[in-house]
A and B are shown apart, each in its own frame.
Chain A
Amino acid sequence: MDKEIVELIGGIIALIGSIFLLLGSIGLLRMPDSYNRIQAGTKASTLGTMLSVVGTWFFAPEWFGKFIILILFVLITNPVSSHVLARAAYHIKIPLTPKTIVDKLKERQLIDPERSAYRKKVKTQNK
């Protein structure tokens, strides 16, 4: 009886997590450019994975430590990877969607061309 209730709660939490993951995937398909896709992907996958892991914990309480490490790992690496993806995308000049209303980074690079020389710097270093 008790075990069933616990497993039901775990199942519901894991289900909510997978709904977030599903919405994130729909976001990946619907968003107009890379940057907005990263927005949808990062957030949904972080909370979705966390909730799925917490839900699984109700089924296997003895794996507590491993789940803690999983959550920490996702929480630390997810924003870093999405930031690196976005930064790389920006520096190889992947276009922003026409809906974009402002691009301060481009303005900054026009004023301060030293800083926009990121690609040039990489090239000269490789020589």
Chain B
Amino acid sequence: MKLKNFVIMFITLMGVWLLLNNSLAVPILLSGLILSIIIPFLFCKHCEVFTYLKFTPKSMWYTLLFLLTFLKELLLSNLDVARRVVTPSLPINPGIIEVKTRLKTKIARIVLADSITLTPGTFTIEIIEDSLFIHWIDVKSTDVQEGTKLIVEKFEKYLEVMYG
């Protein structure tokens, strides 16, 4: 159990507790504090995903940029799906394609796969080694390189800095 994992878990739990209670009264603070210390002690043997989080100014800035990109893509993807759904001819051209990722750490790949799932017309079905298999509602290219460029790279450049 590393101290860093413990601290991140503690901050997360405490944050959720305070947001849920919406108050800073002493009994609430105290009970939250005690529980947020006990729970990581009991369960933080396996939370090694946090090990790769970085807290440099650069990574914070990239996290912000990543979130903005993500929200933009989320909005675009919704408009895209909405357009396809309401068009009478149902313009879909689906297929499963393969893309490669350069990311090494577990958490970076999780975040990448989740972001791909929430962006226009794509979602991750399977990860095998460094390949992601993606269901694409409108296949523009079956080539690995081309697909990687279109789908993965816009997130990868941020995630690389955030999680290394």
Contacts and interface: CB of A to CB of B under 8 A. Distances in A.
Interface residues of B, number: 40
B25 interface: no
B3 interface: no
Contacts of B96: 96, 100, 102-106
Contacts of B77: 43
A42 B123 contact: yes
Contact of B118 (A43, A106, A115): A43
Interface residues of A, number: 49
Contacts of A42: 117-118, 123
A105 B125 contact: yes
Contact of A64 (B22, B123, B139): B22
Given A43-B77, A79-B117, A87 B125 contact: yes
A83 interface: yes
A69 B16 contact: yes
B94 interface: yes
By DSSP majority rule, is chain A's interface helix, strand, loop, or mixed? helix
A78 B139 contact: no
Nearest to B95: A102
B61 to A, nearest CB: 21
Contacts of B16: 69
A56 interface: no
B81 A24 contact: yes
Contacts of A97: 94
A95 interface: no
B1 interface: no
Interface in B135-164: 135, 137, 139, 142
Q: In this complex, which of B85, B115, B128 has the most chain A Cβ atoms within 10 angstroms of its Cβ?
A: B85
Contacts of A62: 22
B86 A23 contact: yes
A79 B137 CA distance: 16
Interface string B109-131: 00001110110010111101001
A78 B18 CA distance: 24
A63 B22 CA distance: 8
A127 B6 CA distance: 37
B154 to A, nearest CB: 16
Nearest to A80: B114
A47 interface: yes
Nearest to A29: B85
A65 interface: yes
5 contacts: A31-B85, A32-B90, A36-B92, A36-B94, A104-B133
Given A90-B125, A99-B94, A108-B98, 7 more contacts: A39-B123, A42-B118, A65-B21, A83-B124, A100-B95, A102-B97, A103-B95
